A and B are shown apart, each in its own frame.
Chain A
Amino acid sequence: MSRTPSQTVGPYYALGLCRREDNVLDPDGIELVGTLLDGRGEPVGDGVVEVWDAAGRRWGRSGTSPDGGFAFRVPRDCEVLEAHVFARGLLRHQRTRIYLSEIEDDVAAGLSPEQRATLQAVPIDAGLRWDIRIQGQRQTVFFAH
């Protein structure tokens, strides 16, 4: 059978997708914050980030605030998160990964240092920071899916 095509999440997704707080994967975890940015470096205030800790089977979702910000509380023992990015203006969601620690694996081995850097969360006072650039210089690596 032929697949149902994708369409944009649009600007009003919060009605359906953000009815409950879904951004805590582990209440005792570490804060992961970031900003979703467009090709001009402007914040994307109508995007959604979903993360999936496949090993620990913990999932979370965060809509972005008007300043493009998103936030999760993620398990301290988690090394890598699978992620999906949605936004108004993005007709199909993008797949990426967030490295919470500086590990090397098969995926990282296939990337240039510049590409690998786009997937690395960096320590900040409050926890970890990972920004997403959906277009332009230093675009976040997105994977075929």
Chain B
Amino acid sequence: MTAAVDPYDGPIVLADDPSLGPEVQVDYPGYRSTRWRAPKDPLVTLPEELHRLDGPVFGESAIEPSDSDLTRQHDGEPLGERILVHGRVLDESGRPLRGALVEVWQANAAGRYRHAVDSHPAPLDPNFSGAGRVLSDDDGRYSFTTIKPGAYPWRNHPNAWRPAHIHFSLFGRSFEQRLVTQMYFPGDPLFAYDPIFNSVRDPRSRELLVARLDLERTEPEWALAFEWDIVLRATPFEP
């Protein structure tokens, strides 16, 4: 008999596995917190009609005017690289989803979140809260202005650093279109070392988490632009 090998003693990043497609590997040993938090029981199948439920709809009342510009939520301007982030919310058939609530949150330019739990000794920025929300328009488009977040250490393993990212939460039209994910920036040298990014083991799907530098939408002498489309599950009814 051979002793069972604890996968949590293994590598931080596992080899690619294109067969997983867009599915994230929920039990990913390199991401230590999955050890006691990844469910282990097999998922139970629901009757078909419960896959077709519509979900909550959020209107303009969910949005404040300052919610789409994270650089104008305080008296002064936040420090950092000013950027425009924009894209479309689509479903798997390429149909734009209008009225999708997009909520974002992020670290400041120094890699610090305005959150009591964040103990990284980098400065808070009094002019940056790091949260916003927008609704997609009739063409599924969303956009917001912010500053580029910094990378930060996170103690998952020795010398662990998260690549710069913006957290995204999305509500489409159907309950099953709910998605929480993270947007990354192109060419980040920390990608190869990050177990959260690599928990998507299919390299092509992983690329879908990375925004594209959009020189055309860049505002000269003002802000770089990044484009990131978000594709939710198929819409099970006419949206």
Contact = CB atoms under 8 A, between A and B. Distances in A.
> Are A and B interaction partners?
yes
Interface of A: 1-17, 19, 38-40, 42, 44, 46, 50, 52, 54, 57, 59, 82, 84, 86-95, 106-107, 110-111, 115, 134-136, 139, 141-145
Contacts of B199: 7, 91
Nearest to B56: A59
B115 A12 contact: yes
Given A15-B115, A107-B47, A135-B39, A82 B34 contact: no
B231 A3 contact: yes
A50 B91 CA distance: 22
A134 B204 contact: no
A7 B180 contact: yes
B129 interface: yes
A118 to B, nearest CB: 10
Contacts of B54: 54
Interface in B82-119: 90-94, 103-105, 107, 113-115, 117-118
Interface stretch (B4-12, B17-25, B215-223): B17-25
7 contacts: A3-B231, A4-B232, A17-B169, A46-B117, A52-B53, A143-B43, A145-B43
A82 B131 CA distance: 27
A44 B37 contact: yes
- List 6 A-B pairs, minimum CB-CB distance, nearest first: A16-B105, A89-B33, A89-B37, A59-B56, A39-B36, A144-B43
A88 B55 CA distance: 24
A141 B167 CA distance: 27
B129 A15 contact: yes
Q: Give the interface residue-count category, chain B.
A: 35 or more
A19 B103 CA distance: 11
A43 to B, nearest CB: 11
Contacts of A12: 105, 107, 113, 115, 117-118, 167
A89 B179 contact: no
Nearest to B107: A12
B181 A6 contact: yes
Contacts of A143: 43-46, 50
A57 B33 contact: no
Contacts of A14: 115
Contacts of A10: 167, 182
B37 A3 contact: no
A96 to B, nearest CB: 9
B28 interface: yes
Given A142-B39, A145-B176, A15 B113 contact: yes
B24 A110 contact: no
Contacts of B36: 38-40, 42, 89, 135-136
B33 A82 contact: no
Nearest to B114: A15
B74 interface: no
A6 B56 contact: no
B33 A88 contact: yes
B205 interface: yes
B44 A90 contact: no
Given A46-B117, A139-B40, 5 more contacts: A5-B208, A7-B167, A38-B37, A39-B37, A39-B40
Listed residue (B93, B105, B115) with the most chain A CB atoms within 10 angstroms of its CB: B105
